Structure 1
Amino acid sequence: MTQMMKAARQHTFGGPEVIVYEDAPVPELAPGEIRIRVKAASLNPPDWYLRDGYRALPPEWQPEGSFPLILGTDVSGVVDAVAEGVTGFALGEEVYAMVRFPEGMMGQSMGHADYVTAPADQVGRKPATIPHAAAAGAPMSLLTAWQFLIELGHEVLNPFQAEPHVPVPLKGKRVLVNGAAGGVGHLALQVAKWQGAHVIAVASGRHGELLRDLGADEVVDYTQAKVEDLYRDLDLVIDCVGGAPAARFLETLARGGALFIVNPLGFDGHAEASRRGITVSVTQVRSNGAQLDAAASLLGDGTIRVVIDSEFSLSEAAQAHARAAKGHIQGKIVLKIA
């Protein structure tokens, strides 16, 4: 008899209303995997992009989908089962993970459910001192910041560039983080600060107090001032918003500086960057349990903390997607799962 669980699923692409809370089969273990009883999960941009069928991408890049879909890469929970031959994880152990990203985003059962399976090497040990909601908010955003700024951790090229991304030393450098209040931005800010950078955080004014509390040395309200009018000779800009507007940051950077773009789609400033002697680089975040383990102590002792924008129950997943659609997210949107 098939064991069942509750999940947030969709049977077609569309808006938040296509997400339904219903019964689904508990995923079965495959070799090399563990199964996690999910206690909390978070939403990330790939979740709402896939829910909508990636309509912003060129048609040839849009997925066909394999319905029903269960979204959600980021989870925190406890080990429920371990495949034969997998070592290092005990039943009941608290773990967190970014599950099968990017390879599993087109139809496999993911984390917005009572249970999820994950390759063991994608799973990290959850810090005991933080709640599941905070741990669930970390993986994709923190791994993105980590792989851009600390260690790439994989050899897969981003389709937007022909060479591997290479992080740059941050100690003593002037680093600007655009979109600093968002999921990736608020963690990139803290990672850069931990590494000894002087951090300039760019966001709307309502986030100023939070960003200073997270360690920003300077805060710029983009609704009141243009960054390109304020700064010159920066060492690094990490643009967590990206797209075509990222080109404006080239004039803020020193020759020999770098512009890292989390979302490079639409950026066309490569010729100008070359003329100015600026490195432009991108990468695509990939699951990495060892990096989550490396970051766990920083989460555990509060050096890096996850800001929660809002919390919903799993049955309210559609409302969580509606919250994401409103934008101006401060930190992470989290689903708490009973």
Structure 2
Amino acid sequence: MPASITIALDAMGGDFGAAVVVPGAAIALERRPDVRFLLYGDENVIAPLLAKHPALRAASEIRHTDVFVRMDDKPSQALRAGRYKSSMWQAIEAVKNGEARAAVSAGNTGALMAMAMFCLKTMAPVDRPAIAGIWPTLRGESIVLDIGATIGADARQLVNLAVMGAALARAVFDIEQPTVGLLNVGVEEIKGNEAVKEAGRILRESASEQFAYHGFVEGDDLGKGTVDVVVTEGFAGNIALKAAEGTARQVSAYLRSAIERSLMARIGYLFARGAFRALREKLDPRRSNGGIFLGLNGIVIKSHGGTDAFGFAAAVELAYDMSRFGLIDRIRDSVTQTRPIAAPALSESDGIV
């Protein structure tokens, strides 16, 4: 029997805190029976919820703390006030100390990134970590990054995102040479801002055994699955993510309304309910919940703050799978083995540092 994997949970993070984290962990345990949990937060809140799930209680340990990060805290404020004491910090520190293989939080994204960077540090030569998401597509799944870690990126940082995203795709999808595209407002080389155009030029001119550069891709290519990895900076990436989630909910609402409109529509649904069930599952954003912090010396997963127990379970399972994949070692090997392809082409005279 394989050794168990311990995951540290920020039980107080997110819009609903332990009320979602605990039942979410219980769902994940049903699907991954060898997972164990360290639950960080207010024991007076966590213990009564844990008592409702005997199997989870047996597989968990509560680490009490009175401090937690609020969703509206500024990252710098949360770092000063919550460092060493908050449920978020202690969950991340468990990864650093080797007590846990991964940390999961639905809390404040900026605070989580700041604490993760401060506690775990970035792996050389990465200077900015990113949040990567596994995106459902018509072809299966793609990796999209950055979906909200930092706003803005220069050409070198976009190239580093391509390297890390390709490493993740190889680990998750078992593809020897994944295809990588830069998200842009058009596929023509003359379109886009200077950072995107420069990153495209570097990737075109720098052959790599780690991935195949496809070129520019547009917004509709995200759903098509045109490439295995889509690279963008965090502002555009987060907007794309939220737009896709909103569109999925909108389509689901349209379908429910259409089915309930008439008796014939309801009868038709009875004959096609299997197809509708499959469509509903495909459109459910909870199944893709969980952003992976890439570029750190440890695995940290960011769950959507407003998700329910089912969605949080998906984030926990993602942390479990990333641990089983040996994600950190794979990315470190990829980053260190890949030539620093941005360095020869960039200089301070280009306006890119």
Q: Same fold (TM over 0.5)?
A: no
Higher strand share: 1
**Greater RCO, 1 or 2 (C-alpha within 8 Å, sep 6+):** 2
Higher helix share: 2
TM-score with structure 1 setting the length: 0.30
- Decide which structure has the larger Cα Rg and report it: 2
TM-score with structure 2 setting the length: 0.29
